[in-house]
Amino acid sequence: MTIQFLLIQVFNGLVNGAFYALLSLGLAVIFGMLRIVNFAHGALYMLGAFTAFALGQLLHLGFWPSLIIAPVIVGVVGMLIERGLLKRLYGLDASYNLLLTFGLTLLTQDLVKQVMLSKFAVSSAPYTPPDSLSGVVNLGFTMFPKYRLFVIGLALVICLITWFVIEKTRVGAIIRASTENPGVTRAFGIDVSKWVTGVFGVGVGLAGLAGVMAAPIYSVDPYMGAELIITTFAVVVIGGLGSIMGSIITGFAVGVLAAIGAALYPPIANTLVFILMAIVLLVRPSGLFGLPEGTR
Amino acid sequence: MTAPTDALSQSRAARHNRAAWLVGLGLLLLILPRLIYPVLALDVLAWGLFAVAFDLLFGFAGLLSFGHAAFWGTSAYVTGYLLGHGQSVPVAMLAGTLSAGLLAVPIAFLSVRSAGIYFSMITLAFGQMLSFLALQWTDFTGGENGLQGFARPNFMGLDFSNATVRYYFCLALFGVGFYIAYRAIRSPFGETLKAVRDNEQRAQSIGYNPNRFKFTAFVISATLAGLAGSMNVFGHGVVSLDAVNWKTSGEVVMMTLLGGTTTLFGPVVGAGIVSLLQDRVTSSNLPTGIVTGLVFVLVVLFFRRGVVGTLQHWMRRK
C-alpha cells in the first residue's frame, strides 16, 4: 500500500462523494422545506441521465446543452409531481410521501426501460463525454481522467452556490422562513406553497444534474439510481438531516472514506458506508450534523 | 373516528366482526389450492404471513420498516443452504426463522431509537447492506445464481414433492405464525405498543419504556418474516437475490397497504391480490414495475384504508 495508491483512491472517492453530496444536498433542501424524504430522487437522477441521452439521440444535442436542459426538464417533472401528487398528502404522516415516491420510482424506472427498449432498442447505453473533457490530466502522482476531475470541481461549485443562496441571500431567507414558520411567513404576504413547489423543483433538478454528470462515467441505465439513492440515504443518516453544509461535507467525506476503506480491505467496498452508518447511529443517533431529537 | 357508543356492545360487535373474517378467510385458505395452482396458493400464504409480520411493526408500532427483505431473505438463504446440506425440512425452516430473529437484534437495537422517516431510511440502508453481502458471500448464497436444486426430504410420511402437501404443511405453519401475531397484538403488550405509537411521551410518563416495546415488536416481526421467508423457499425450491432486494421490502409494504393496515386480516388479503396480479403480469410482457408502481401510487393517494379497512368502514357505517 503506497501513499500514491491512497491518493488515487482519495480522488476516486471524491468522484463518488460528488454524487453523494449532490443527491443528499437535494434531499436536504427538499426535507427542510417540505418535511418529506423523496425516494424518487434516485429515479429522477436516472431521468436526468436518460434525458441527456434522449436529447442526444433525437435532437443531436451534445453534453454541454444537455447539462443545462436535462436538469431543467427534470426540475419541471418534479414540480408537476409536487403539484399533482405530493400536495394531496401534506396533511398526513410523512411516511405516505415516502411510499408515494417509492411507487413513482418503480413506475419511472420501468417506463424508462420500456422507452429505451422500444424507441432506442437498448437496455442501457454509454454516453460519451465531450472532446474537451476526454483524456487524462497529470496530477503529479498519477494520471487522472479529465472528466472525473471536472465532475469533482463542478459538484463542489454547485454545492457551494446552493449553500450560499440558502444561507446568505434574500431568496434563502424566504426559504428558511418558510421552513421555520410557514404560517408567519404567509402572513408577510409570501405565497409559501409556490416556494415549496419551486424548492422541490430545484432540489430535484440537482438530482437531474447529477444524473447528466454521471452518464459518461456509468452508462445510462434505467436502474442506475436505485442503489445509489439507498446508499445516499445512509449518507444522509450519517450526516443528519438538517444542515445544508453538513450534507455537502458528509457526502464528500463518506465518498473518500469508503474509497480508502475499500482499498485497504476490498471485500467491504460496498458495505462500508452502511458500517459507518451503524457506528454513527451507535455514537450519535441524530447524525453528525443533525440536532438531537426534541431540539428540532 | 366512529361516534362514541356503548363500549361493551362496540367491542362485542368488533369481536363478531373479527370472528366472521377469521372463519371466512380460514375457509378460503383451506380450499385455495383448488381455486388456483398450489404453488401460487403457497405464495399467498408466505407473502400473507410476511405482510402480517410487517404490519405488526408498521400498523401497531407505527414503524415503517423499509428493510424487511433482510429477514425474509436471510431466513430464505439459511433454509435453502441447510436443505442443500442434507438437513430435514423442519430443522432447516426453524433455523432459518431463528436466524432472522437473531439478525433483527442488532438492527432493531440501532434503528428503534430513531423515529418516523429516519427509521425507514435506516432499515432501508441495513436491508441494502444485507443485499450487498448476499451478492458477495457466494459460498453461502450462490451469488447471482442463488441456491437451487436442493432436496426437500419427506417428513413423517408427508410427500413434499407434491405441491398440495407442501401447501397444507405451510398452512399449518401460517396458522401458527398468524396466531403468534394475533396474540401479540391482542394482549397487554399490544395495547402498550399502540399507546406508544399514538403518544410516545404519554406512554413513557406512565412508566413504559417505548424503545423496549418497539425493540420487542421489531424482533417478533422479523422472526415471523423469517418464518414466511422459509415457507417461500420450501414452496419454490429456489432462493434468488430477489429475496434480499429492496423491491421485496417495498412489495410487502404495498401488500399491507392494499389489504388494509391494522386490520390483521388485511395484509393477507393484500398479499393474495398482489400475488395473483403479479402472476398475471409476468405472463404478459408488461414490465412489472409499471403495474406495481401504479398500484402503489394509486393506493397511497386514494385507497389508504385498503380493501379490508374499507369493507370494515362500510359495515360500521351501516
User: DSSP for B24-41?
Assistant: HHHHHHHHHHHHS-HHHH
For residue A94, list chain B residues with Cβ-Cβ distance below 8 A.
116-117
For the segment B281-315, what is each residue's pLDDT rounded down to a tens digit?
Answer: 877 777 788 888 998 899 999 988 888 888 888 88
Enter the pTM of the model: 0.89
Sequence ranges of the domains in chain B: 7-317
Residue B2 has pLDDT above 70, yes or no: no
Best interface-test mutation with B: which of A83, A92, A110, A115 has the largest number of B CBs within 10 A?
A: A110
For the segment B9-35, what is each residue's pLDDT rounded down to a tens digit?
Answer: 557 777 777 788 888 888 888 888 878
Smallest CA–CA separation between A39 and chain B, in Å? 10
For the segment B139-194, what is each residue's pLDDT rounded down to a tens digit?
Answer: 888 777 778 877 777 778 777 778 888 899 899 999 999 999 999 988 888 888 88
Q: B246, A105: Cβ pair inside 8 Å?
A: no
User: DSSP for A257-291?
Assistant: HHHHHHHHSGGGTTTHHHHHHHHHHHH-TT-SSSP
Which is more confident, A122 or B102? B102
Q: What is the pLDDT of residue B7?
A: 44
Please give the residue of chain A at the shortest CA–CA distance from B136: A267
User: DSSP for B58-107?
Assistant: HHHH----S-THHHHHHHHHHHHHHHHTT--HHHHHHHHHHHHHHHHHHH
The SS3 assignment for B10 reads helix
When the candidates are 1.10.3470, 1.10.12, 1.20.1740, 1.20.120, the CATH number that belongs to B7-317 is 1.10.3470
Q: Quick one: how many helices (H) and strands (E) in chain A?
A: 11, 2
Which residues between 254 and 273 in chain A have a beta carbon less than 8 angstroms from any beta carbon of chain B? 267, 270-271
ipTM (interface predicted TM) = 0.86
Contacts of B227 (CB under 8 A, 6+ apart): B49, B53, B75, B93, B96, B97, B100, B173, B177
Average pLDDT over residues B80-103: 92
Closest by Cβ to A234, choosing from B125, B294, B299: B125
For residue B65, list chain A residues with Cβ-Cβ distance below 8 A.
none
Q: Which residues of chain A have pLDDT under 50?
A: 294-296
Chain B touched by A88 (CB under 8 Å): yes
Q: What is the pLDDT of residue A195?
A: 87
Place of cell 401458527: B176
Residue B3 has pLDDT above 50, yes or no: no
Q: B113, A227: Cβ pair inside 8 Å?
A: no
**What share of chain B has pLDDT > 90, as a percent?**
35
User: DSSP for A155-221?
Assistant: HHHHHHHHHHHHHHSHHHHHHHHHHH-HHHHHHTT--HHHHHHHHHHHHHHHHHHHHHHHTTTS-B-
CA B285 to chain centroid, in Å, comes to 28
Q: What is the pLDDT of residue B316?
A: 77
Closest by Cβ to B125, choosing from A36, A37, A277: A277
Q: What is the pLDDT of residue A111?
A: 94
